Amino acid sequence: MTELAERLRWLRGGAAPVRYTARTIAALTANPGCARRGLLDAAGVDKSALAARLGHPARFGQSRFAITRTLGFENRLKADGYAELLAAVGLAGAEVVTVELTLDIAGLPAALEPDLVILRAGGRLHVVQIKSFAVIDGQAPGDKVAAAARQAAVHVLALRRLGHDTDHEVSLVCPENFSNAPVAHRVDVRRELGVLERQLARLVGVADIAAGLPDGATADDAVATVPARYAPECLAACELAFYCRQEARCAGETDTLGRAVRDALGGIASVGEVTAIAGGAPSTEHPEIAELLVAARELRAGAPVGQPEGDR
């Protein structure tokens, strides 16, 4: 076992690693600058259990009803040698094939959970994702299609990196209207592929982060010492979000205000520094931002008294 593999095993407390899914990789690349998540995911730490142990359990995931509905729909599509799925996708001569998927994440090969169907048609592979959201009157919900497209792009990229000629159009197979009958929705994921490749390239190197930990460091030690990069988007994408939000709030980080505000503040890291500069404290590092903050404070001070805050 390599030294890195041994360190990652300590982080898991000796438990078997949690496998990556396309959803977790898509979420990981949504915050490529977060060293904490990069390390914990590379180690395969069960972040849900860790968050609960830290007193800030994750609050997202499918309801029991949604899980049952998804499983029922999947079982229907997989019955009789995927007959209904093949009919819905409508690719001539397509057959279902099995490929063990791996993808290099932050310098380490990661096995992917096979939560997709891969078809071979005309010598090319085609990614199919079974989704439980309904397509109503030919319209699929945009946010759900966008999330599914990001996940499908992970599969397409993994297949291509393994050397398979793979279609950039994927099929999302969903229930149609209010029935359980399947309908296929084609999505071009070239844009998502470009974003994914760029974000994967930006992921913080896991070996370097792990090397900075003392021998025998656990996941709890890693949370305490490896820096995070909290953003409100974490709430929908990472099991540790409530812990990291609390930590960022206690430290008064501008990250808690969202990326747009943080960027508008030109990289000033703390809310305390922002209010001090707005109050007239000198700032040699951020003179333009300081001017804007002082002007904003004066505008606010000049707003009519008694007007509700939201209307000012």
> In DSSP terms, which residues pair with 110 in a beta bridge?
103
CA distance 152 to 170: 7
CB 149 → ligand SF4: shortest distance, Å? Answer: 21
CB 24 → ligand SF4: shortest distance, Å? Answer: 11
Our finding on whether 228 is near ligand SF4 (CB under 6 A) is yes
Q: What does 15-29 look like in DSSP terms, one character per residue?
A: PPPPPB-HHHHHHHH
37, 126, 150, 155: which one binds ligand SF4 (CB under 6 A): 37
CB 228 → ligand SF4: shortest distance, Å? Answer: 4
Our finding on whether 56 is near ligand SF4 (CB under 6 A) is no
Query: Given the rule CB under 6 A, which of 31-39, 121-129, 194-202, 292-300 is the region that contacts ligand SF4?
Result: 31-39
Tell me the residue type at 111: A
Our finding on whether 54 is near ligand SF4 (CB under 6 A) is no
What residues have CB less than 8 Å from 9, skipping those under 6 apart? Answer: 1, 43
Q: Report yes or no: 127 and 114 within 8 Å, Cβ to Cβ.
A: no
> In DSSP terms, which residues pair with 188 in a beta bridge?
169
Our finding on whether 229 is near ligand SF4 (CB under 6 A) is yes
Query: Given the rule CB under 6 A, which of 93-101, 225-233, 256-264, 303-311 is the region that contacts ligand SF4?
Result: 225-233
Our finding on whether 171 is near ligand SF4 (CB under 6 A) is no
Our finding on whether 230 is near ligand SF4 (CB under 6 A) is yes
Q: Computed from CA positions of residues 271, 275, 281, 284, in that sequence, does the dihedral angle turn out positive or negative?
A: positive
**Which residue's structure tokens are 């992921």?**
203
The residue (of 31 and 254) whose beta carbon lies closer to ligand SF4 is 31
CB count within 10 Å of CB 253 equals: 20
148, 238, 268, 277: which one binds ligand SF4 (CB under 6 A): 238
Taking CB under 6 A as the criterion, which residues in 69-108 touch ligand SF4?
A: none
Query: Given the rule CB under 6 A, which of 194-202, 214-222, 228-236, 284-292 is the region that contacts ligand SF4?
Result: 228-236
Residues in contact with ligand SF4, counted by CB under 6 A, come to a total of 12
8, 58, 105, 244: which one binds ligand SF4 (CB under 6 A): 244
CB count within 10 Å of CB 293 equals: 23
Our finding on whether 31 is near ligand SF4 (CB under 6 A) is yes
Of 266, 310, 274, nearest in space to 294 by CA:
274
CB count within 10 Å of CB 120 equals: 17
Q: What does 88-149 look like in DSSP terms, one character per residue?
A: HH--TT-EEE----EEEETTEEEEBP--SEEEEETTEEEEEEE--S-BBTTB--HHHHHHHH
CB 36 → ligand SF4: shortest distance, Å? Answer: 4
Of 160, 181, 82, nearest in space to 128 by CA:
82
Binding mask 184-213 for ligand SF4 (x = CB under 6 A): ------------------------------
26, 39, 189, 240: which one binds ligand SF4 (CB under 6 A): 240
Our finding on whether 51 is near ligand SF4 (CB under 6 A) is no
CA distance 125 to 156: 9
CB 20 → ligand SF4: shortest distance, Å? Answer: 15
CB 13 → ligand SF4: shortest distance, Å? Answer: 18
Residues that bind ligand SF4 (CB under 6 A): 31, 34, 36-37, 228-230, 234, 238, 240-241, 244
